Structure 1
Amino acid sequence: MSTPMCSTVIRNWCAGISVALTTLAMGSAADAGCGPAADACTVAEGEYHIVLPKDGATAGVPAVVFLHGYGGSGKAALRNAAMVNGLTKRGYAVIAPTALPRRPGGPRSWAFLPDFGGRDESLFLEAVLQDAEINFNIDRQSVVLSGFSAGGFMVSYLACAHPEQFAAYAPVSGSFWRPQPDGCAGPVRLLHTHGWADDVVPLEGRYLGNRQYQQGDIFAGLDLWRDTNGCTTHAPSRSWKQGDHLRRRWECGPEADIELILVPTGHRVPNDWASWVVNWFENSPLSQ
């Protein structure tokens, strides 16, 4: 695999761990890259954007890598003010890679199924992680992979095939397509968030492309994760309500916990999601 590096034009900006933040009109969230004009960081396999917490860390910076939905981009994903501000205020960097078009000139999306072709997304994200570790002091041992919709599907497939690549996985509104994998490579920490009223990725799944593809059932996906994590029972370790959302948690051993958050909304990233994922990842009492 080629050694990732920032382009010559923006190399000097990538040398440090600080990055200029540009305030967006829609909120106080900022998008950033390897330079003051929010240029993308480039690696051999593609590009990504990054926002760092304002208070720099002397040790490695934890991060959430967030994969955008169908037709989106890394830069556009960072316009989610609630998500970016929520994570950076907790000391986390937000890394937003960009998918490639499935066909020339077409919408960008992630190659989570073999039929979609394209690059090896695991290798691409590995290049992103290496570049961010070198240039932005990211702590490789404290990185959560998350994503929304198509990005959430990509997260689920990567968690299944490469459970050791990230410290934890947190898909939003995306799991597996049918037929889902027969098995996964190993146990994971996984937080799945989904809207009860989601009609784009319904909890039960749906057909797409003249029935050529079928989104999977979220609960069937959770069944696969329980088997993967070696859970001895399908019954959750705990079920509770917090505000307007419902939670279930399965504690199946060290680094093998699963949590489901159901919200009453549709196809979107909940405004409070940043706090939920950090509290869960850090095993905070706030998430219990």
Structure 2
Amino acid sequence: MDTHLLTEGIAMTTSTVPNRLRGGKTVGLLATAIFSFLGLAEGASASGCGEALPAGRHDLSIQSDGIERSAVYFIPSAYDGKRKLPLVFDFHGSNSHPDGQMNRSRWDEVAEREGFIVMALQGSLDGSVPGTHAWNVPGVNPLPGVSRGNGLDEGQFIADAVETAKKSFCVDPARIYASGYSGGGRMLSQYVCDGHGDFAAAGFVMGLRAGYPEQEDGVWRPLKTSCQPAKPISIIAFSGLKDHVNPFAGGGKPYWQYGGEVAVKRWAELNGCDDRALTDKGEAVTVTTYPGCRAGASVMSYVIADATHDWPGRNIRFRLASTGEDAIREVDATGRMWDFFRSAGGELMAASSAKATCTDTTTTATNNKGGQGTACRQPVKPDLSAPGASEGL
């Protein structure tokens, strides 16, 4: 692994922030200290509203179960401490870290544009690559080379992080969302399965699960007793047919086994959606939607024909329908996820209805066969600040 990837990601977090929200390796911010300091010393409300904070990405330490845990948070320029903003949690894959994940997903870029907060947490396991980490996902063994010896209670940590964010920032508790990549998606899946109702919607990239894998009569499926969500939750999932790490068809490592389609169908069942799915099959992207879910929830799956285990970035574009005065536009997977979060699963337009708007129009190939998306087959500049696919499983 190129150590430049790690050092660059860490360097991006250095900034001038008030002592009350200073984190990092040397100065830890305990969750209890946040509340007392903000609430008592500065007179802020328990909601975390009160004053503006410096924009940008910052380190943070959170006390969970008597142990200091690490995180990174991003504050948009629009933050004034008065208006309650949405919050998105971003869960890294195995053999990665919070900065590497945010560099990969670019949630901070969308947050700056749309005006919300992002928080990326760090798993407790040491990754097989020095300086990286993985999640201690309940019910399954970690990846080869990742030791479970130092594994902590990740569910408690996530719950503590949610409470810390509510007390530290001006956050709308009804608009807290989460996304997970690969191992982070598996961790997020199990967190929701374990009955935590913190998130209004959740997005998954190459990592959606619906409980522990079990085998019966030679067939792998989710163990139903291992996934009992607290409430219906909107789910959006992105999968790649060329993903050989977490295969959409199933198989792979012992932690995986049942495929992505099985997981999506199980979440449709858990959300009480209609049995019959609506599928729009395109040349590059196939979109499956389950309507009629309880409590207004949505379940949506994007299967990308040429995608491997990478986060679908700017080389894969999704077209958003115009709403009101908003023009038709195209976004990457992160932008599509955000649109899903804020609109409770709003539909996309068919790609054949408008011209593609990729940044490199000379090499754009538009999907005109009914798919709800446009694949921009343009040269993609490598993201030198994000770990590669093999380093974030």
Give distance in 1, aligned partners of 2:247 and 2:51. 43
Give distance in 2, aligned partners of 1:224 and 1:64. 24
Instruction: Map Cα deviations across residues 148-174 of structure 1 (whole Å, 9 max, x no partner).
Output: 000011111112222522111111101
| 1:113 Cα offset (Å) | 2.4
Find 1:250's aligned residue among 256, 265, 290: 290
Counting only pairs closer than 5 Å after superposition, residues 52-63 of structure 1 correspond to structure 2 as 52-56=75-79, 58-63=82-87
1:29 is matched with: none
| 1:67 Cα offset (Å) | 0.5
Instruction: Map Cα deviations across residues 121-178 of structure 1 (whole Å, 9 max, x no partner).
Output: 2211121112222222122221111110000111111122225221111111012352
Find 2:63's aligned residue among 27, 43, 47: 43
1:275 is matched with: 335
- Structure number with larger C-alpha Rg: 2
Instruction: Map Cα deviations across residues 52-88 of structure 1 (whole Å, 9 max, x no partner).
Output: 2221253211011010000111122222374321233
2:97 is matched with: 73
Counting only pairs closer than 5 Å after superposition, residues 1-288 of structure 1 correspond to structure 2 as 3-5=31-33, 17-21=52-56, 32-33=57-58, 39-44=59-64, 45=67, 46-56=69-79, 58-80=82-104, 82-101=106-125, 108-114=133-139, 116=141, 118-176=151-209, 178-179=213-214, 180-183=222-225, 184-186=227-229, 187-208=232-253, 213-233=255-275, 235-236=276-277, 238-240=278-280, 244-251=284-291, 252-263=293-304, 264-271=306-313, 272-283=332-343, 285=346, 287=348
Give distance in 2, aligned partners of 1:244 and 1:19. 41
Name the CA shift for 1:96/1:240 in 2 (closer, same or farther; >3 Å): same
Matched to 2:179, the amino acid is S
**1:279–1:286: 8 Å Cα contact kept in structure 2?**
no
**2:31–2:62: 8 Å Cα contact kept in structure 1?**
no
Matched to 2:99, the amino acid is K
**1:49–1:75: 8 Å Cα contact kept in structure 2?**
yes
| 1:259 Cα offset (Å) | 0.6
Instruction: Map Cα deviations across residues 171-212 of structure 1 (whole Å, 9 max, x no partner).
Output: 11012352223143242211111122211111023333xxx5
Give distance in 2, aligned partners of 1:193 and 1:278. 13
Pick which of 249-258 and 142-151 moved more.
Answer: 249-258
**1:122–1:158: 8 Å Cα contact kept in structure 2?**
yes
Give distance in 2, aligned partners of 1:243 and 1:64. 31
Taking only the aligned residue pairs, the percentage that are identical comes to 20
| 1:103 Cα offset (Å) | 8.4
Instruction: Map Cα deviations across residues 226-252 of structure 1 (whole Å, 9 max, x no partner).
Output: 22112341x21x333689432111122
Give distance in 1, aligned partners of 2:89 and 2:196. 15
**1:248–1:260: 8 Å Cα contact kept in structure 2?**
yes
**2:94–2:127: 8 Å Cα contact kept in structure 1?**
no
| Structure 2: gaps spanning 5 or more residues | 1-29, 35-40, 43-47, 142-147, 215-221, 314-331, 350-393
**1:276–1:287: 8 Å Cα contact kept in structure 2?**
no
| Structure 1: gaps spanning 5 or more residues | 22-31, 34-38
Give distance in 2, aligned partners of 1:19 and 1:286. 35
TM-score by length of 1: 0.79
